């Protein structure tokens, strides 16, 4: 057999001795039980159903809290909006009521004022009549004095209350000697100068004043 071929063929001759494992010699002195490890405690078994129940309970509680907070927030918003609407309506109706009350007070004040004016006028009516009669008597006496001063002949007649006649006597007697006096509830004074007649009728004035009071 050639040498190249013999390199690839198995030698079927005597068995070759197997190499013996060499003894490992360490420079360190390790104890024999160095690699004896303590027993590791096994993990407790997990109850899947219990964990699911806990997760469901926690999720339910979180959902309830979230829904409660959201509900309270919505209620607060609705309450605030209603409060604003009520305040707006209150302000509106307060303004309307105040306006109506003001108008009513003005109307009542005007009515009371008219009533007071009427009452005062009725109370003062006798005094007003007396003052009017006094002023009219003074004017009448002045007209008579003017006519007599111009040398004219006059004819006089006076009607009225006793008090009015006494007042006119004091004014006319020094001017003329003949005056026709007549007591009456009406006050009239007549001055005749020739063909002219001057009549002062205070009754018409008093009636007009009474009509104004009654309106």
Taking only the tens place, the pLDDT of each residue in 38-56 is 555 566 677 788 888 888 8
Rounded mean pLDDT of 59-76?
A: 86
* Virtual torsion, Cα 180, 158, 182, 171, nearest 10 deg: -80
d(CA 134, CA 51): 120
Residue with tokens 């006494």: 166
Residue-range domains of the chain with CATH:
126-214 (3.30.360)
Q: What is the pLDDT of residue 38?
A: 57
- Tell me the two tokens of residue 48: 């899947």
In sign, the C-alpha dihedral spanning 159, 162, 167, 169 is positive
pLDDT digits 0-9 by tens, 72-83:
888 888 888 878
Integer angstrom CA distances of residue 166 from 134, 156, 158, 173? 11, 15, 11, 10
- 13: phi then psi, degrees, rounded to nearest 5: -85, -150
């Amino acid at each position: 057999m050639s040498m190249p071929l013999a390199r690839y063929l198995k030698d079927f001759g005597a068995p070759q001795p197997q190499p013996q494992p060499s003894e490992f010699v360490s420079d360190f002195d390790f104890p024999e039980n160095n690699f004896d490890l303590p027993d590791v405690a096994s993990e407790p078994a997990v109850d899947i159903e219990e964990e699911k129940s806990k997760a469901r309970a926690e999720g339910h509680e979180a959902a309830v809290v979230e829904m409660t907070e959201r509900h309270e927030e919505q209620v607060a918003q609705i309450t605030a909006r209603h409060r604003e609407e009520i305040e707006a309506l209150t302000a509106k109706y307060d303004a309307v009521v105040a306006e109506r009350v003001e108008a009513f007070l003005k109307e009542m004040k005007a009515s009371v004022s008219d009533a007071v004016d009427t009452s005062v006028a009725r109370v003062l009516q006798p005094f007003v009549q007396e003052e009017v009669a006094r002023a009219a008597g003074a004017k009448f006496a002045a007209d008579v004095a003017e006519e007599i001063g111009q040398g004219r002949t006059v004819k006089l007649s006076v009607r009225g209350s006793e008090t009015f006649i006494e007042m006119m006597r004091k004014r006319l007697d020094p001017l003329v000697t003949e005056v026709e006096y007549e007591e009456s509830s009406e006050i009239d004074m007549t001055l005749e100068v020739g063909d002219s007649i001057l009549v002062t009728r205070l009754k018409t004035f008093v009636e007009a004043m009474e009509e104004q009071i009654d309106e």
